[in-house]
Structure formats: structure tokens, C-alpha cells
Amino acid sequence: MSNTKPFNVTWDLAYVVASLRALVTEFGFNHSASKPNGGVGCIYAAVVNRALVPVCIVGQFLAREGLLRVTQHEDRSLDYGDNDDPDQWGACTMDSTIWAALDTLGVTVTDEAKAFLREVQSYQDRPSNWGTALNEALDNLRERAEENLRDAERARDEAE
């Protein structure tokens, strides 16, 4: 009996950034997450007519990958009928259950990609529109890269 996982894919930072940029282009820079009942606030997904509906930018990303279900604690969340707050795992920590669930399915998410998804989600939750959330996370990414480059140059200079 084979122990093959359904997926064999790695989401790295470049893939995640490109995917989120595509979502911002599709939904529009000023799009903000809103619950299907019209409520404000972000959740990965809501249950509408016994189906999971992606809400936030990370939920949309996971839905596009065919993996929105990994946000749910158990299948029983669909048994409650329409529910704007089904019981969900979060992606807010690097060791969250959502990452383990993805890994079990054969989806490897690099630490950099996890951190970026978490950061975009955090900016969106302030609340902010998706374009601003993505741009702020990208600005922070550039600043960290520039800082790392300065540190590397400084270390090189000290070694000479």
C-alpha cells in the first residue's frame, strides 16, 4: 500500500507573493474582506449553504489552491448550516496546525512564505484593504532584505 500524499508542491516566498499579487489584481486594490452576511472582520472562510466560502486574502489564496478545508478544525463545521464563524485553525503562528495540515497533504510552505502570509494577514486585519496590506508587507520585506545586505557587507568588511 502506497503512502503517497495528494500533493507534492512547495510554496516559497516568490510563489506566495505572485499569487497574492494576482488576487489583488483580480479583486481590486481597494477590496476588503467582508463576511457573507455583510459583517466586517476577517475569517479565512464562512459557511454558506453548507459550502466553505473564502473571505480573507489568505482564505482566497488557499481556496485557489484547492485547500480551503485545511482551515477548518473538523468537517463538523459544515453541519451547523450557515455560519460566519466556523471553527478554524489560524495561520497566525509559524507552528500553527494549518501548516501541519498542509504538510500532511504534501504541501511544503517555506518559513519565509509562512511569515509573509502571516504578515499580509496581519495588515489586512487592522483593517486594511488588500492592496495596502500587500504593499505594506512587501515594503517590510524590502527593508529586511536591505538590512540583511548591509549586515552582510559590514561582516565582509570586518573580515577583510
* pLDDT tens, residue by residue, 103-147: 999 999 999 999 999 999 989 988 889 999 999 999 999 999 899
CA 160/CA 155 separation, integer angstroms? 9
CA 99/CA 137 separation, integer angstroms? 20
Contact (Cβ atoms closer than 8 angstroms) between residue 29 and residue 130: yes
CA 148/CA 152 separation, integer angstroms? 6
Helix (H, G, I), strand (E, B) or coil at 24: helix
CA 34/CA 22 separation, integer angstroms? 19
Whole-prediction pTM value? 0.82
